[in-house]
Amino acid sequence: MGHRITKIYTRTGDAGQTGLGDGRRVAKSDPRIRAIGEIDETNAALGVLLAEELPDDMRALLTDVQHDMFDLGGEICIPGMCRMTAQHVERLEKAIDAYNADLPPLKNFILPGGSRAAALAHHARAICRRAERTLVALAQAETVNDGARQYLNRLSDLLFVLGRALNRVAGYEDVLWEKKKNAGEEQSKRAEAP
């Protein structure tokens, strides 16, 4: 088993720099490091979701995704490396299609919520979208594997569908957004204002 981590702190990052997988030192504010951090944050959010009671099939899927996310962070850590492939993206698409097939069609936008697990799936989705935006920004300055961006895009879609599916498993309805729900309240406040 390769290298073992025996010491957690090294003090090498105390001056605000960190190392990439190819040995280069860059600022911790570097767009590549920002992308790695947001991929890691997405993975941590998946870990929180996995701490909930989940159906076995979802647990297995999300555990596989966590491994993919670690590989994705490694890919971004070594410029020019390509680990995320069309097969990774297709696996997510198949899962999206399978879970979505059992859900009623959406006729309205939904709000993040319902069961705790569904809310955590939506929270992970929002973090994943931020990671995707950061990776897109990095790709505007440097070469980034298309598979990496596509994977994050599909993962956020999967987390949206899983949020709906988790609500259904828990017996909750989707929390529907109501257009102009508070519009009447605002008009009343304006009418009462001196």
Q: Which of 26-35, 80-89, 139-148, 180-189 has the lowest mean pLDDT?
A: 180-189
Q: Given this model, what pLDDT does residue 158 score?
A: 98
Query: What does the pLDDT read at residue 36?
Result: 94
In this prediction, residue 99 carries a pLDDT of 98
What is the tens place of the pLDDT at every residue in 34-87? 999 999 999 999 999 999 999 999 999 999 999 999 999 999 988 888 999 999
Predicted model pTM = 0.86
Of the candidates 192, 176, 175, the residue with the CA atom closest to the CA atom of residue 184: 192
* CA angle in degrees (0–180, nearest 5) for 137-21-127: 40
Q: Where are the domains of the chain?
A: 17-192
Whether pLDDT at 178 is above 70: yes
Class level of CATH domain 17-192:
mainly alpha
pLDDT higher at 121 or 25: 121
Task: Tell me which H or E stretch contains 19.
Answer: strand 17-19
What average pLDDT does the structure give for the chain?
89
**Angle between the N-to-C axes of helices 116-141 and 31-50, in degrees from 0 to 180, rounded to the nearest 10:** 160
Question: So what's the pLDDT on residue 97?
Answer: 98
Task: Give the tens place of pLDDT for each residue, 91-107.
Answer: 999 999 999 999 999 88
- Kindly report the number of other CB atoms within 10 A of residue 81's CB atom: 15
Cβ contact 121:159 at 8 Å: yes
pLDDT, position 148: 96
